[in-house]
Amino acid sequence: MLKKIICCACLFFAINISWGCSVLPFVPVLGTVYDGYVGWKGHQAIKYYAEDITTMRKAVMQSSRQLNLKTVHKSADEKGYSLEIKCREPLQIEILPFEKKVTKVMIKVNLGGDKQFAEFFYHRIDANLAKVRRG
């Protein structure tokens, strides 16, 4: 019996090594696929959050208030929320539902130098999201 278990374990690890560990079904995945990655396409940054849209709207609004940014235009429709924030160059932020319990936050910047500010704004959203979750 012990020989069968050892043989099966060796076979399992041999298959995993040869296939690049794509068969490891017993490894727990922590977090979600959506958390933590900011994608850039032109002058538009996109980050996905594993939260509902109202929680994300609260976190974005709290972040803009903490940074003393003036919200010029707000709109809400069936698709999501849209904000225009005035700073050196206006930022356009869209909060859109992506999947169930997944929200897409899109920041459009006008200049290439504002990419650092968009990254900083995402960090503020992350920090405030933890506060909003706690209540």
Whether residue 23 is found in the same domain as residue 79: no
Whether residue 22 is found in the same domain as residue 37: no
Whether residue 19 is found in the same domain as residue 76: no
Whether residue 74 is found in the same domain as residue 8: no
User: Is this model's pTM higher than 0.85 or not?
Assistant: no
Residue 13: pLDDT above 80?
Answer: no
Whether residue 55 is found in the same domain as residue 38: yes
Phi-psi region of 42 (alpha: psi -120 to 50; beta: other; left: phi over 0): left
The domain tally of the chain equals: 2
DSSP reduced 3-state for 109: coil
Whether residue 100 is found in the same domain as residue 39: yes
Question: Half-sphere exposure of residue 1, counting CA atoms within 13 Å on the CB side?
Answer: 0
Whether residue 75 is found in the same domain as residue 112: yes
Whether residue 94 is found in the same domain as residue 62: yes
Q: pLDDT per residue over 90-119, tens digit each?
A: 788 899 998 888 899 998 887 655 678 888
Please list the alpha-helical segments (H only) found in 19-103: 53-66
Whether residue 12 is found in the same domain as residue 46: no
Please list the alpha-helical segments (H only) found in the chain: 2-18, 53-66, 115-134
Whether residue 52 is found in the same domain as residue 73: yes
Question: What pLDDT does residue 94 have?
Answer: 92
Whether residue 6 is found in the same domain as residue 46: no
Q: Which domain holds residue 10?
A: 1-27
What's the mean pLDDT in 32-51? 75
What's the mean pLDDT in 19-28? 50
Whether residue 7 is found in the same domain as residue 72: no
CATH number for position 62 = 3.30.310.80
